[in-house]
Amino acid sequence: MRPSTSNLGNALVNIPGRIPDAIDHYRVALRINPELAEAHYNLGLALLSEPRQIPEAITQFEAALRIRTDFTFAREIVARWRAAQR
């Protein structure tokens, strides 16, 4: 596991214009270790910045929940999205 790759994504996501780079780093982290619930969650958050990426963001939140069923923030986002789809 290389948490530094995911950590770099966390740093980049807060710099204006660097969200695409953050997304790339989260994807690399998940290729290295697909069981990083936090990387799935953070990737989902970054993807929410692009409305056309919302379905993929929800998929990432759901992946985080499969890994860590107690991931409250991910569960709340998925629940709100599902409620809005009704």
Domains, the chain, in order of start with CATH, read: 3-85 (1.25.40.10)
49, 43 Cβ separation under 8 angstroms = no
Contact 20, 47 (CB under 8 A): no
pLDDT in tens, 25-50: 999 999 999 999 999 999 999 999 98
The structure tokens listed for 13 are 């996501």
Looking at per-residue pLDDT, the higher value among 10 and 55 belongs to: 55
5-20 exposure pattern, b = at least 16 Cβ within 10 A, e = fewer: bbebbbebbeeeebbe
At how many degrees (to 10) do helices 37-47 and 54-67 cross? 160
